[in-house]
Amino acid sequence: MKKYLLKCRLLLIPSLFGVALFYVLPYVRVIYYSLIENQFSRKFVGVQNYEKVFQNEYFRLALKNSLLLIVIAVPVLVVAAFLLSLLLLKMKGYWKLLRIAFIFPMLVPTASVVVVWRTLFDGSESVWPVYLLFIYKNIGLLIILLSAAFSTLEGDIYEAARLDGACGFVLHRKITLPLISPTLLFTVLIGVVYSFKVFRESYLYFGTSYPPDHSYTLQYYMNNHFYKLNYQNLASAAVMTSLIVAVIVVVGVRLQKKFTV
């Protein structure tokens, strides 16, 4: 047993080395840039850069819009994927064909989808085209993950629950949701992470680095400061964004443990 554990640890070394080299070290460098005055004098200024960023009205606007995207679009994405996955359980004979249909939006180039979106929402001045584009591009992956989770559930559990009088919504609330809660949490976290990657779709849809106020997100803010070579502002915003994601992950894990105990 010890010999196998040693082999496993040795096999993990290349992966851990890659993570440290391409993720951990760059992130530490970003934190360093967020704590100095600029990349030339390298004077330590503490949290002054973070204070300047948070006092910036455009950062606050971008933060509000990014959080609204998470609060509004991500739940709609997860609920829609959950309901469609339940529907697919009753259409097992068509699963292979439907699987291709759900994966298709992920394979189509974003630029092609944006052309269709501009035609469909021509003249729209709301944020909903971006939200719907985000849902359209990512719902396929979540459906596949949730469908895979549903396929692991044993029918005997449902039969026993029906004999006890459970049915419909109560059956899914008491049986399905607790059993697939780890996968459900994973899909929520994927939705949150992907919401921070909606910049490409939004940028192509509006065709500018300065979209309407309702669609100006943290990605636009950081991208514009990258063009301005304002690395301190960019680094501080990036660290704050990563902390927001970390808080969401911690809260999600705790809620999942609370409702499955």
The CATH number given to 46-260 is: 1.10.3720.10
Q: How many residues are given for the chain?
A: 261
Q: What is the pLDDT of residue 75?
A: 93
Residue 94: the pLDDT is 61
Average pLDDT (141-146) is 87
Query: What is the pLDDT, as a whole number, of residue 113?
Result: 85
Is 20 a residue whose pLDDT tops 80? yes
- Regarding predicted confidence, which is higher, 108 or 190? 190
Taking Cα atoms as reference points, which of 21, 22, 28, 31 lies closest to residue 235? 31
**What is the rounded average pLDDT of the residues 53-77?**
91
Angle (deg, nearest 10), helices 57-68 and 231-260 = 30
pTM of the model: 0.83
On whether the CB atoms of residues 74 and 192 are closer than 8 A, the answer is: yes
Average pLDDT over residues 143-161: 77
Least confident of 36-50, 108-122, 145-159, 182-196: 145-159
Locate the domains of the chain by residue range. Answer: 46-260
> In the chain, pLDDT over 90 holds for what percent of residues?
13
Residue 164's φ and ψ, nearest 5 degrees, are -85, 0
Task: For residue range 154-212, list pLDDT tens digits in order.
Answer: 767 666 667 666 666 667 677 777 778 888 888 988 888 888 888 888 888 888 888 88
Q: What is the pLDDT of residues 232-259, one digit of tens each?
A: 888 999 899 888 888 888 888 887 777 6
Return the pLDDT at 65: 92
The pLDDT of 2-18, averaged and rounded, is: 80
- The 3-state secondary structure of 30-79 reads HHHHHCECCCCCCCECCCHHHHHHHHCHHHHHHHHHHHHHHHHHHHHHHH
